[in-house]
Structure 1
Amino acid sequence: MITAALLLTAASIAVIDGDTFDVAGERVRIANIDAPELRRAQCDAERRLAELAKRRLEELLAGDDIEVVPGDPGTGRKKDRNGRTLAVIKRGGADIGELMIAEGLVRPWEGKRRSWCEQD
């Protein structure tokens, strides 16, 4: 279990989707973002954006100087309801979640899931 800030190498990371990856047998969810669902997409637009978010996370985690800071700074929680470790992820000191939000691939986590599909 990741209990303190940890530096990673790209070779040790397997990206699952736009906000989740595995490292050293542990599943980590980026605490401060909400990414579109890849496996349970509700519409084509969500599925396309989910693919883009996953690819971008793979790119961002492919470099050196990846830091995992465990815990959700907003709530103090260490795990999500699915047992994944919550963490803020940084590369070269920059918050990866904030970068992905700025790029429009994910949105800030607001404590609950919202639809990524247009509501008529």
Structure 2
Amino acid sequence: MTRHLVLLAGLAGLLALQACEAIQPEHAPPGQVREISWSDGDSGHIDGERFRLADIDAPETGTVGSRSGARCELERQRGREAKAWMVSLTRSAVVTITGDHGADRYGRRVLRLSVDGEDLARTGITAGYLQAWPHRNGRAQTPKPDWCGDAR
């Protein structure tokens, strides 16, 4: 009889443990981003790791004339606008990694992202904050977009 009570108590404990596990918050689904921050309109940090958007260019935000800075003040202003747009777009959205092309020469993960189920690159191009800049095996297939002209 005592053995049956011990078994029943053990079974009850196991069921209680499973019930507790069932109500624990689940981790984010595979590919879903928990935290994103933007350095500019096409790069930043995802869950603490540096990344860059695949096949996309955004205007630079750095000082005009510096090594990786903007080519003109108009590009720098557009860069600040692109970054602000990205921050706003992704602030409370579901951001998912939809493609991973490995690391670039700077050690950043080159990624494709979706925001609330919509392709981020396509959305940014349509809004005028990003331009296509296709790459293959880490090499640009076209010249870097010119953000200093009148038209985006």
> CA shift at 1:117, angstroms?
2.1
Is the contact made by 2:72 and 2:148 (CA closer than 8 Å) also made in structure 1? yes
Query: Which residue matches 1:97?
Result: 121
Query: Which residue matches 1:66?
Result: 95
> CA shift at 1:37, angstroms?
1.0
Query: Which residue matches 1:74?
Result: none
Residue from 84, 87, 90 that aligns with 2:111: 87
Q: CA offsets, 1:32-87, max 9 Å, x none?
A: 3111111101101100110111011111211232101242xxxxx41222111011
Structure 2: 5+ residue runs without aligned partners?
A: 1-29, 63-68
Is the contact made by 1:8 and 1:64 (CA closer than 8 Å) also made in structure 2? no
Paired residue secondary structure (1:7): coil
Q: Which has the higher helix share?
A: 2
Residue from 64, 71, 74 that aligns with 1:45: 74
Q: Which has the bigger relative contact order, CA under 8 A and spacing at least 6?
A: 1
Opposite residue 102 of structure 1, the aligned amino acid is: T
Query: Which residue matches 1:19?
Result: 42
TM-score for both structures, normalised by structure 2: 0.64
Paired residue secondary structure (1:116): coil
Query: Which residue matches 1:8?
Result: 33
For residues 134 and 47 of structure 2, the distance between their equivalents in structure 1, rounded to whole angstroms, comes to 28
> CA shift at 1:28, angstroms?
1.1
Is the contact made by 2:133 and 2:145 (CA closer than 8 Å) also made in structure 1? no
- Give the % identical residues: 30
For residues 48 and 90 of structure 1, the distance between their equivalents in structure 2, rounded to whole angstroms, comes to 25
RMSD after superposition: 1.8
